[in-house]
Chains A and B, each alone.
Chain A
Amino acid sequence: MIRIFVVDDHPIIRKALRSLLENESDIHICGEAATAQEALESLPQANPDLVLVDISLPELGGIELVRILRIRNPGLPAAILSGHRDGFVKQALDAGANGYILKGNSDDLPEAIRQIVKGKQYLSPEISV
């Protein structure tokens, strides 16, 4: 079972992700947070296999959170969820993100999660670096 921690300030997205991913037999949402601060506090207890981070978090942004996670939890994969097709991809990868997943096409999301957890890097097909 793949344990996912979701960080997104939009409750709708958190709820939708939970519904969508828990429909997958091998994926489980082990925790969620609306802000980076919340996430950093909850992550030790949640013990996820992957953190999905929205790029546009209030105050401390998603890319910054990934950068902190790389220091605090070097072995914990993190993927950026973003509505921006370009402009931030290189930044996210440079910060240490294992994947850059574009919102809006959830068909690919479960597969993206599986690949990242296996240690591969995932970029949504529509994006460019």
Chain B
Amino acid sequence: MSGVESFIEFLHIPSLVLTDEMHIRSVNEAFCSQFQLARNDCLGQRFNDLENGLWDSPELHHLLEERLEDENAVHDCEIRQAIDQTGERILLISACRVGDGRHTLIMAQDITQQRQYEELLRERESRYRSLFETIDEGFCVFEVLFEGEKPIDYRFLETNPGFDKLTGLHGAVGKCIRELRPQHEEHWFQIYGQVAVTGKPLRFTQQAKHLGGRWYDVYAFRIGPAEQRQVAVLFDDITEKKKAQEILRESEERFRAVAELVPDLLWRSDPDGKSTWYNQRWMEYTGQTRVQAAGYGWIDVIHPDDRSRSLDNYERAVRTGQPLQQEHRIRRHDGVYRWFLVRAEPVRDVEGKILHWFGAATDVHEQRAAVESLEWRVEKRTRQVRRLAYRLTMAEHKERQRITRVLHDNLQQLLYGVEMRLRMVSQSLLATQDKMSGLLDETNRWVREAILTTRNLTTDLCPPALEKDELGDALRWLKRQMKELHGLEIDIDKQSCLSIQDNELRILLFHSVRELLFNVVKHAGVNRATVRLEEDEKYSIIHVIDDGCGFNAAEVTGGEEDVSGFGLFSIRERLRLIGGYVEIHSTPGYGTHIQIRAPRDRAVQGTR
């Protein structure tokens, strides 16, 4: 037996020799090392009682006691033993009878780790296989065939379903591409031959005319030993994408051709607003280079006064995705600024995501100048009209004053004198000439009537109360006059006052209120109105209110036609000239409330 015992000492395989009583007779170093047992602890021990409990399993009993009895030797039997602390262990056992059949040589290897690796590999392979089978991309492995150093064909070793689908080739494994597609282009062999020889992976896009003219995006890499010249290829059919690119390219070419024809300045920006392209016209007009204009370079050629506003608008449009429209001045290469109408629109994909912005700047310099000129002329004319209206008020009043003076200073005084003289004559004749006296009395009455008429006329033309600063007094005089002449009752607070030192403004406000009260008489259908005076920090305010039939305020304030009958247009324009305004609140059937607001610190536009 010493021969066997010596022999196992040389073995790297964990081995031991058992007696016929299943006691350990000898054990080698490899066994002690692998199963972490001390040799002295093992020798003489019953095999099944070894400390680690690994060897006390029914399977091992069966193997050593029954199978070995029958077969004399057993090879590579896998025994699985569950160990509490370490989980399942897998032992690979070979055993045979030695020493006249009285001893048993056991070679035992713990292959637990090996089996675990194998299991892992199987799982991994299964996963890769599953991936390989299910991916949309095509995958194949082939062996490149050479004639000398020239690659002439390749034979498929493996393909996935994606391969069949993307190439239209079925059952390709074991066949050469020349068998399947004899006209297959030469460049494919060149490329794959290069990968097979150099081992350098290649990614490329190529068309296969004899595979339906399809375009492929290909990644080829060598697998296995170099001498096997096997290449794996992962590829995708990009024919549709290629067509779309082609269409896009053609479209882009057409666009650029058109873009260079139009007189507008055009550009394109990325979704963040940075300009990525300008047409040639932009370059020619501004004198910028593409590098200068790129990104936000366009800002440099915007007029300094427009720059901040334009940039704010542009950034807001980019941020919100809303189209942009604005006007700003763009500097020409010679330094002259011209006005442009700028429009920018986002271009979106089918999901609404902004792909880029497209913008166009149209030269509107002449139109703008024309509009500005027209607006200026209209504004100037409006100012003239307002000044004229204002002057008209003053002229009217001065004319009233002149007529008043003539009536008062001349005609009235004459009449007073005549009246007194007639009275005196009448008294002188009373005793003697009754008839003459009667005639003179009648003449005297006529003269008095003439006096009354001229007096009323002078007062009406130029109310004396208007000479005083206090507008309230003049309006209270107006109250009496409106009552006497037109039967209109006016409610105006006795204490109500509005001191206006500016003579012309006082006249304007007085005549405006009178005009509004005439409107009440003529249009409102009521015999009562309210006049209220007040002030705030900025304005002297006069309210004229009635509960009459009202009118559509929007029609009167919206247009300037056919409102002269109301006198509102005239009032509004005259007030506007001095920085005041009229507020009209009226609805048919619900009365009218008009506010006249005149600035306390008035600033008459234009010359007075």
**Chain A residues near B (Cβ < 8 Å):** 10, 12-13, 15-17, 19-20, 23, 56, 83-88, 103-107, 128
Contacts and interface: CB of A to CB of B under 8 A. Distances in A.
Interface stretch (B199-207, B272-280, B418-426): B418-426
B459 A13 contact: no
Given A56-B408, A83-B408, A104 B415 contact: yes
| 10 nearest CB pairs, A to B | A87-B464, A104-B451, A12-B417, A16-B420, A16-B417, A10-B413, A20-B420, A106-B420, A103-B416, A87-B465
A16 B421 CA distance: 6
Nearest to A86: B477
B480 A128 contact: yes
A94 to B, nearest CB: 12
B459 A104 contact: no
A13 to B, nearest CB: 6
A103 B451 contact: yes
A13 B419 contact: no
Contacts of A84: 455, 458-459, 464
17 contacts: A13-B416, A16-B418, A16-B421, A23-B424, A23-B427, A23-B428, A56-B409, A83-B412, A83-B455, A85-B455, A86-B480, A103-B412, A103-B416, A104-B451, A104-B455, A105-B419, A105-B448
Given A83-B408, A87-B464, A13 B477 contact: no
Given A20-B424, A85-B459, A106 B408 contact: no
B452 interface: yes
Contact of A88 (B451, B458, B464): B464
B477 to A, nearest CB: 6
Interface of B: 408-409, 412-421, 423-424, 427-428, 448, 451-452, 455, 458-459, 463-465, 477, 480
A15 B414 CA distance: 11
Contact of B420 (A17, A83, A85, A86): A17
Contacts of B419: 104-106
Contacts of B417: 10, 12-13, 15-16
A23 B459 CA distance: 32
Contacts of A16: 416-418, 420-421
A86 B451 CA distance: 15
Contacts of B451: 103-104
Nearest to A55: B464
B477 A104 contact: no
Given A16-B420, A84-B455, 14 more contacts: A10-B417, A12-B413, A19-B421, A23-B424, A56-B408, A84-B464, A86-B480, A87-B459, A87-B465, A103-B416, A104-B415, A104-B451, A105-B419, A107-B423
A104 B408 contact: no
Contacts of B465: 86-87
A19 B420 contact: yes
A87 B475 CA distance: 11
Contacts of A86: 459, 464-465, 477, 480
A6 to B, nearest CB: 12
A15 B452 CA distance: 21
A16 B416 CA distance: 8
Among A16, A17, A56, A105, chain B packs the most CB atoms within 10 A around the CB of A16
A128 B464 CA distance: 13
Nearest to B422: A106
> Which of B417, B448, B477 is most buried by chain A, counting CB atoms within 10 A of its CB?
B417
B480 A83 contact: no
Contacts of B420: 16-17, 19-20, 106
Given A56-B409, A83-B408, A104 B424 contact: no
Nearest to B450: A104
Nearest to A84: B464
A104 B452 contact: yes
Contacts of A128: 480
A125 to B, nearest CB: 13
A57 to B, nearest CB: 11
A16 B412 CA distance: 13
A83 B463 contact: no
Nearest to B481: A86
A106 B423 contact: yes
A87 B466 CA distance: 9
B427 A104 contact: no
Nearest to A103: B416
A70 to B, nearest CB: 20
A8 B536 CA distance: 45
B437 to A, nearest CB: 14
Contacts of A87: 459, 463-465, 477
A15 B421 CA distance: 9
Contacts of A107: 423
Nearest to A109: B420
A84 B415 CA distance: 14
B458 A83 contact: yes
Q: Which of A13, A84, A104, A105 has the most CB of B within 10 A?
A: A104
A126 B455 CA distance: 12
A23 to B, nearest CB: 5
Contacts of A85: 455, 459
A111 B428 CA distance: 18
A95 B428 CA distance: 38
A107 B451 CA distance: 14
A56 B416 CA distance: 14
Contacts of A105: 419, 448
A8 to B, nearest CB: 8
